[in-house]
Structures are given as structure tokens and as C-alpha cells.
Amino acid sequence: MFVDQFADKMVSVKGGKISTTSKDSALLRFQRYFDKVDIQEWSDINPPMIEFSTDASMAYMIVDKLVVLTYKNAENIDIEETTRFAWVSILKTF
């Protein structure tokens, strides 16, 4: 799972707020999410953009995904959702 790529502490910036999450908390959150949904499509809208610093001490990846999924609502009716996700992942070597 892609959570294996997370640092022990993950920093998120969303809606003007900065938060930190442990790797274990992120894993639990993602596991709960993926246990409740069926992924119908998980595709790149644009190819990932990956750049490395000249000394190879840092790299970043920009991802732009289309995700189509289904889940059951409280009335046990299948609901389909389509969402565009985009994020930046930064890697720093030590």
C-alpha cells in the first residue's frame, strides 16, 4: 500500500490549516476508507510530475488522479462518487 512510502510523521496542508499525522494513524484512516468503498477507476488525469534536486537530497512528485468509487449509504443503496484528487509528495534523504 502507498502508506508504506509515508514518513513516520506526515505533514498535511489543507484548507489553510497545517496538521501532522503519524504513519500508523494514516494507515488506520486509509484502511477504514478502503474497507468501505469499491474502486471503479483510479487513473491519472495527467502523468505524475517527478523532479529531483541537483544533489539528489530531495525530490517531489505531483499527482493528479481521477477516482470513481461506489459505497453503500445508510439505506444500503449503492452510491457512485467521482472525485479528482491532486497532491504533492516530497522526499528528503538523510
Segment 70-92, tens digit of pLDDT: 999 999 999 999 999 999 999 88
| Total domains, the chain | 2
Strands ordered across the beta sheet of 38-52: 38-52, 58-72, 78-92
43/68 same-domain check:
yes
14/41 same-domain check:
no
18/44 same-domain check:
no
89/43 same-domain check:
yes
Are 14 and 24 in contact by the 8 Å Cβ rule? The answer is no
Which structural domain range is residue 15 located in? 1-36
> Rounded to whole angstroms, how far apart are CA atoms 51 and 10?
20
Segment 12-37, tens digit of pLDDT: 898 999 999 998 998 899 899 999 99
